């Protein structure tokens, strides 16, 4: 199964290989207390987690540090994944920006992989993956438009969906129109 193989390959990025506690995947919270806990969880450590496809819609969830990103994406490229999308999430409470990369496969060995990396909100810089996936170009430009995340080494990082002179980033939570 490609899922297991990919998981192993991705896990090799994390030398400690600390078997993460079977993360209390945000299932339906039954009580108030649990909900509060879900709202303020301990910051997640880098690593690979297997998710329930029926609930979340993807199989593998890997959080990497920005400098591991290229390696992780290369692993997926070699395993013939295609790029689905790149997007960001603004975690303003933690003062972090998250970049989320979605990958999937063309064959029937279905495996959806999410790679995420957390950046400092004040200086969001992440290496570009356009060298590996040419199709990441527009997705990265879009993410740059919406969140102001700088993709280092991107060949043409100018506004794509926003006007050419846009200097605002509308999907940041503190953006006011």
Partner 1 sequence: MNAPILLQPDETFILNVGPQHPATHGVLRVKMEMSGEYIVNAETVIGYIHRMHEKMGELKTYPQFLMNLSRMDYLGALGYSHCHVLVVEKASGIVVPERAEYIRAIMVELNRIASHLFWFGAFVMDLGGFSPLMYALQDREHILDMLEAVTGSRLTYCYFRFGGLYNDIDDDFIAAARRFIPRMRKSLKKYKALVTGNIIFRKRLEGIAPLTPEMCRKYGASSAVARGSGINFDVRRNEPYSVYPEFDFDIPVYHECDSLARYMVRMDEIEQSLRIVEQGLDKLPGGPIMPDKKPKIIKPPAGDYYQAVETARGSFGVRLVSDGGKNPYRLKLRSPTYSNMHLFDEACRGMMIMDALAFMGSLDLVIPEIDR
Map the footprint of partner 1 across residues 3-42, applying CB under 8 A.
25-29, 35, 38-39
Total residues belonging to the chain: 177
- Is residue 80 involved in binding partner 1 (CB under 8 A)? yes
CA distance 37 to 20: 18
Options 2, 3, 9, 100; binder of partner 1; rule CB under 8 A = 100
Nearer to partner 1, 75 or 114 (CB): 114
Map the footprint of partner 1 across residues 126-145, applying CB under 8 A.
133-135, 137-138
Which helix (H) or strand (E) segment is 143 a member of? helix 136-147
CA distance 25 to 116: 16
- Is residue 171 involved in binding partner 1 (CB under 8 A)? yes
- Least separation in angstroms between residue 16's CB and partner 1 is 25
Do 12 and 39 touch, CB atoms closer than 8 A?
Answer: no
CA distance 172 to 166: 14
Output phi, psi for 76, to 5 deg. -70, -35
Q: How many residues bind partner 1 (CB under 8 A)?
A: 45
Output phi, psi for 123, to 5 deg. -140, 70
Output phi, psi for 136, to 5 deg. -75, -15
- Is residue 168 involved in binding partner 1 (CB under 8 A)? no
Nearer to partner 1, 17 or 92 (CB): 92
- Is residue 66 involved in binding partner 1 (CB under 8 A)? no
CA distance 141 to 159: 6
Which of the stretches 5-13, 42-50, 67-75, 77-85 binds partner 1 when contact is defined by CB under 8 A?
A: 77-85
Residues lying near partner 1 in the complex (CB under 8 A) are found at: 25-29, 35, 38-39, 54-58, 80-85, 87, 89-90, 100, 102, 104-108, 110, 112, 114, 133-135, 137-138, 146, 159-163, 170-171
């Amino acid at each position: 199964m490609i899922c297991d193989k990919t998981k192993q390959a991705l896990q090799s990025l994390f030398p400690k290989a600390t078997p993460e506690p079977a993360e209390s995947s945000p299932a339906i919270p039954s009580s108030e207390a649990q909900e509060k806990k879900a709202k303020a969880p301990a910051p997640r450590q880098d690593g690979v987690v297997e998710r329930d496809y029926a609930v979340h819609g993807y199989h593998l969830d890997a959080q990497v540090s920005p400098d591991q990103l290229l390696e992780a994406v290369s692993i997926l490229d070699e395993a013939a994944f295609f790029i689905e999308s790149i997007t960001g999430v603004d975690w303003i409470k933690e003062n972090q920006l998250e970049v989320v990369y979605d990958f999937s496969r063309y064959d029937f060995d279905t495996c959806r992989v999410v790679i995420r990396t957390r950046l400092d909100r004040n200086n969001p810089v992440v290496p570009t993956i356009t060298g590996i996936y040419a199709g990441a170009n527009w997705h990265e430009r879009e993410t740059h438009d919406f969140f102001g995340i700088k993709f280092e080494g991107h060949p043409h990082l100018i506004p794509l969906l926003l006007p050419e002179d846009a200097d605002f980033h509308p999907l940041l939570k503190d953006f006011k129109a």
